[in-house]
Amino acid sequence: MLAKRIIPCLDVKDGRTVKGVNFVDLRDAGDPVELAWNYSNQGADELVFLDITATVERRKTMVELVKAVARQINIPFTIGGGINEIADADALLIAGADKISINSAAVRNPKLIDELAAAFGVQFVVIAVDTRSIGDKNVVHLNGGRLPTERQTLEWILEAESRGAGEILLTSMDHDGTKGGFDNGLLKIVNDAVHIPVIASGGAGKVEHFVDVFEKTNVDAALAASVFHYGEILIPDLKRTLQGNKIEVRI
């Protein structure tokens, strides 16, 4: 059985790591370079860096900051924000990315997934999906969660997989930052429907939430931000608890 992965996420705005609740009310969470170094040393399995205002501000990802982070870590590094074409992905690969994460650009131009998978390989392409419940449907949102679309979440994820997505990073906006637990119902539906790894995101507040998400949904990885940034959960402690619950992790 493959080991489950624990992934800290650096949401970056104006060169600083930030964190909010339900994608709003952002507050400072520290220097991304220092945090990256700390997580790499703590035993994180991967690191995700999301330039959360690049799409809204219509600019490219902060490549120099990405390079500075990449120099501090020796674990797989996923970068997202402002990637709209092959050249953007290529620049991030050179800067130190092992994978890239696309969200809004993929929904607006689904062929971009095909192009990236053909150019760099399926394993390089992570599709990030920000979803929120509207009525009885889960709906994909763009521009850092600001813009609802007509796309239903599962339908979009299945299309992304068929086009060459190598992994799905699924963030429940309803749960994000609430520390009330992951959206296990949605995550199980998605994980059961796809044949590629799913990363759970949104809602981690305590160690038990990680145990729950792996036991109830069997996702491949769990991502969190503020509980790691503010030292509420230490990755070595988390992994020991998971191991004690017979969940396979890399120690």
Q: Where are the alpha helices (DSSP H) in the chain?
A: 32-42, 63-70, 86-95, 104-108, 111-120, 153-163, 184-193, 207-217, 226-229, 235-244
Could you give the CA distance from residue 236 to residue 51 in angstroms, rounded to a whole number? 27
Q: Kindly report the backbone phi and psi dihedral angles of residue 71, in degrees, each rounded to the nearest multiple of 5, phi listed first.
A: -65, -20
**Catalytically annotated residue among 11, 176, 183, 220:** 11
Residue 11 known to be catalytic: yes
Q: Which residues lie across from 167 on neighbouring strands? A: 126
- CB < 8 Å & 24+ apart, contacts of 205-211: 205/178, 205/179, 205/180, 205/181, 205/232, 206/179, 206/232, 206/233, 207/233, 207/237, 207/238, 207/241, 209/181, 209/182, 210/6, 210/238, 210/241, 210/242, 211/241, 211/242, 211/245, 211/247
**Catalytically annotated residue among 88, 130, 176, 220:** 130
Between strands 16-21 and 5-13, the pairing is antiparallel
Could you give the CA distance from residue 213 to residue 172 in angstroms, rounded to a whole number? 13
Q: How many other C-beta atoms are found inside a 10 Å radius of the C-beta of residue 192? A: 10
* Tokens linked to 53: 């205002």
Q: Answer for the pair 40, 74: CB distance below 8 angstroms, yes or no.
A: yes
Residue 220 known to be catalytic: no
Active site residues: 11, 130
